[in-house]
Amino acid sequence: MMSLSRPQWGRILILSISFFALFSEVAGAFEKEVYDCNAAGNREVLTTIDLKLSKKYKKQKAEIREEVKASNETMKVRLAFFPFLDPPMNLAIGKCVSAEEGRLAIKTATTYNRGVGFLVMQELLPHHWVRIGLTDLAELAWVPVAPEDMARLSDPALSTEAFQSVYRELATLKERKLPFGMGTKQIEAAEGK
């Protein structure tokens, strides 16, 4: 084993401290910036509803687009078709989507996608988007939701803030899947939530 002299240990110590200081400075540069939905430039952004449909609706594409657009004229509507039988029964609502737009998304998912069985974690979504039947996020980001919870989320009395709060509560993972089929582990709620 090689022994180091006192000056060599000093250099190693200085290099280590410099490395950790640089690393913490770089890590601080990548902190998440808080997105303000009510900021001047963000209020004008239109909400987009991205609806993945079963192939059985292919001939009704224009009618479905017009129906959704008629319910809320300020939303952009994008339709796509699932290549297999039916798209997954999931719903994703971004953090800047109003309660009215969210309730329209729930109604649309119920009408054209057999209902809602899963909500998608909001941290993974664009702020001004609603996605129904999405397939580009892993199933680990889908949180199962009960019909009574969907009824609570669909309540017309909810303001946008209350709607978003209920959505975040319902779309938070309550358990983590363990590797190799070893079951699941409950996730403890963070203090102060």
* Cα atoms found within 13 Å of the Cα of residue 27, Cβ hemisphere only: 6
What is d(CA 80, CA 52) in angstroms, rounded to the nearest whole number?
5
pLDDT at 76: 93
**Pairing mode, strands 184-186 and 175-177:** antiparallel
What is d(CA 113, CA 90) in angstroms, rounded to the nearest whole number?
9
pLDDT at 22: 67
Q: Can you give the residue ranges of every domain in the chain?
A: 40-177
Q: Considering the entire predicted model, what is its pTM?
A: 0.75
Least confident of 12-16, 24-28, 112-116, 177-181: 24-28
Question: Nearest-5° angle of CA 44, CA 45, CA 48?
Answer: 140
- Contact between 113 and 133 (Cβ < 8 Å): yes
41 falls in which pLDDT band (50, 70, 90)? confident
